Amino acid sequence: MIDPSWIAALGVILFGIGLLGTFYHKNAIVVLMCIELMLNAANLNFVAAASHYGDVDGWVFTAIAIAIAAAEVAIGLAILLSLYSTQGTISLDAARELSN
């Protein structure tokens, strides 16, 4: 089996790239995808710790995180769809309804 610390390092790199994407993009769907990327990086970390300690709880947390990510995507896209039907765009700069 591969050294678990390498898997954790891959998780760190993916998390950083996802963080960069959330800063960089204006399109709300791409920001949502980058958040998915960061969640996946966190899952990699859980799996690395689980295989390091031989403890199955990390896998359980990963399964829970995947299920919560599915719920989050459903809610997020529903919000984006209703935003698109009211504003006509999903650019994060255009959605200023709640400011001021």
Partner 1 sequence: MVNFETVIFVIVSGAAIVGALGCVFSSRVAHSLLWLMFTFFAVAAAFLMASAEMLAAIQILVYLGSVMLVVQFGVMLTRRRIQDVESLPTLNAISAVSGVGVFAFILVLLRGMMEHSMWDSGTSTAPTTLAFADAIFNDWTMATVILGSLLAMAMIGSSYLVRDERLVNLLWDMGAEE
Q: How far is the CB of 7 from partner 1 (least distance, A)?
A: 5
Candidates 35, 64, 95, 99; binder of partner 1 (CB under 8 A) is 64
* Binding of residue 10 to partner 1 (CB under 8 A): yes
Instruction: Give the count of beta carbons closer than 10 Å to the beta carbon of residue 12.
Output: 12
Q: How far apart are CA 5 and CA 10, in angstroms?
A: 9
Please count the residues of the chain.
Answer: 100
The pair of structure tokens assigned to 96 is 């200023």
Candidates 35, 42, 75, 99; binder of partner 1 (CB under 8 A) is 75
Site string for partner 1, 14-53 (x = CB under 8 A): xxxxxxxx-xxxxx-xx-xxx-xx--x--xx--xxxxxxx
